[in-house]
Chains A and B, each alone.
Chain A
Amino acid sequence: QVQLVQSGAEVKKPGASVKVSCKASGYTFSSNTISWVRQAPGQGLEWMGWISGYNGNTYYAQELQGRLTMTTDTSTSTAYMELRSLRSDDTAVYYCARERYDSSFEYWGQGTLVTVSS
């Protein structure tokens, strides 16, 4: 069965960076795109960007460009999301999600809480 297992919770200081991993299993990693979505406490879902499992192409939300990098390691079927220059409003649960062939988000990781606090 398809599973996306994310790395554990992180606490970071403002200005630091965080890198969250998303290890995929149960399917051929290169066949699907991974999107990243975040959710601030008590708020809605915010799409951050996607990365192709096939060729590593990326697309980032405009407001995060310059601070966000998504990568993959096909040898371990793992996707990574790195966010730099963290601010308090980056505090959120970060999710990875595997896109279906039509790009809807069929499988989700369990979420990783990133807390940014001095």
Chain B
Amino acid sequence: EIVLTQSPGTLSLSPGERATLSCRASQSVSGSYLAWYQQKPGQAPRLLIYGASSRATGIPDRFSGSGSGTDFTLTISRLEPEDFAVYYCQQYGSSPRTFGQGTRLEIK
């Protein structure tokens, strides 16, 4: 099973700032099958990034993903008020599909 470790656990930033979230895998993620999801309270997760760097339909271009192998990054270039939420990475290149524990992005 591939274990995903996200850092930091909580990130405190202000609107307009740049956010960088990390996801490290315990072994190489096959085919860069790494996704990022955003979850707001009381809502289902929303797919942001798939294939490590491709934005899902309707996702603003301030969201970008990068990385390969075992190290992946989600970057939000300029934070908007609606971006403050919890973010999860997930690998789906092999079963069991696994999620990271999440990074909470909060307003400073």
Contact = CB atoms under 8 A, between A and B. Distances in A.
Nearest to B39: A45
B33 A103 contact: yes
Interface in B72-90: 88, 90
The DSSP consensus for interface residues of chain B is loop
Contacts of A99: 92
Given A44-B88, A45-B88, A104 B35 contact: yes
B99 A44 contact: yes
B11 interface: no
A95 B1 CA distance: 21
A75 interface: no
Contacts, number: 64
Interface in A4-59: 35, 37, 44-47, 50, 59
A47 B96 contact: yes
Contacts of A50: 95, 97
B50 A95 contact: no
Interface of A: 35, 37, 44-47, 50, 59, 61-62, 95, 99-100, 102-106, 108-111
Given A44-B99, A50-B95, A106-B50, 20 more contacts: A35-B97, A37-B45, A44-B100, A44-B101, A45-B102, A47-B90, A47-B99, A50-B97, A59-B96, A62-B1, A100-B50, A102-B51, A103-B93, A104-B33, A104-B47, A104-B56, A105-B35, A106-B47, A106-B56, A108-B44
Interface of B: 1, 33, 35, 37, 39, 44-47, 50-51, 56-57, 88, 90, 92-93, 95-102
